[in-house]
Amino acid sequence: MATILTAGTAAPDFKLRVTPDQWLSLSDLKGRPVILAFYPADFSPVCGDQMVLYNEILPDFREHGAELLGISVDGVWCHAAFAKSRNLHFPLLSDFEPKGAVARSYGAYREEEGVCERALFVIDGNGVIFWSYLSPVAVNPGADGILEALEELSNRSEQNGPAEDSSHAA
C-alpha cells in the first residue's frame, strides 16, 4: 500500500479541471476545511457507492463549513457523465494530465494500475492536513472518519477562537 501524507503536513496546492473550461485550486478554498476524496475510477461499483454516500451526507460536511472535492484520474467528460448519472452535487476534479500528478503529491497514486488510491484527507482552513486515511482499494471507507475529524477540527476552532492573521503580528 502507498504511504499517504499525514496530519500536520502542509497540503500540496493544486489546480485541476472541474469542467472543460473551469479550474479549481486548493488555495481557492483557503480559510475553510476541505475534504479531498481520492478514488480510483468513475463508474466502478465501490467508487459509485462511496461518492453517493458522500453526496447524501453533504449537508453534514457543510454544517462544519467544509467543501468536498472528489479527485480521480478520469477526464472531465467522464466526471460530468458520472456526476450526472449519480446526481452528485460536489466537484469532481480531473487529475488527468499530467496523469496522477496531484495524487502523487499526496502519496495517493497506484503506479501499477495508473489510478488514485482510495485516500481521504481533511485539510484545515490554513492548508494543513488535519486527518488522513488510506483505505484498501476495494473497500468503501464510509464517512465516519471524515465526520469525526471535522467535529474535532470544529471543536479545536471553537476552543482557540478565530484564527489569528499572522501577517499583522508585530
d(CA 89, CA 92): 9
Strands 22-25 and 15-19, how do they pair?
Answer: antiparallel
CA–chain centroid gap for 162, Å, is 24
d(CA 102, CA 14): 7
Residue 111 class from Cβ within 10 Å (0-12 exposed, 13-18 middle, 19+ buried)? exposed
Which is catalytic among the residues 47, 71, 73, 92? 47
Q: Is 64 left (phi over 0), alpha (psi -120 to 50) or beta?
A: alpha
Q: Is 47 a catalytic residue?
A: yes
Tell me the residue ranges of DSSP E strands in 5-145: 15-19, 22-25, 34-38, 67-72, 92-94, 109-110, 115-116, 118-123, 129-135
The grid coordinates of residue 66 equal: 467544509
Q: What are the catalytic residues?
A: 47
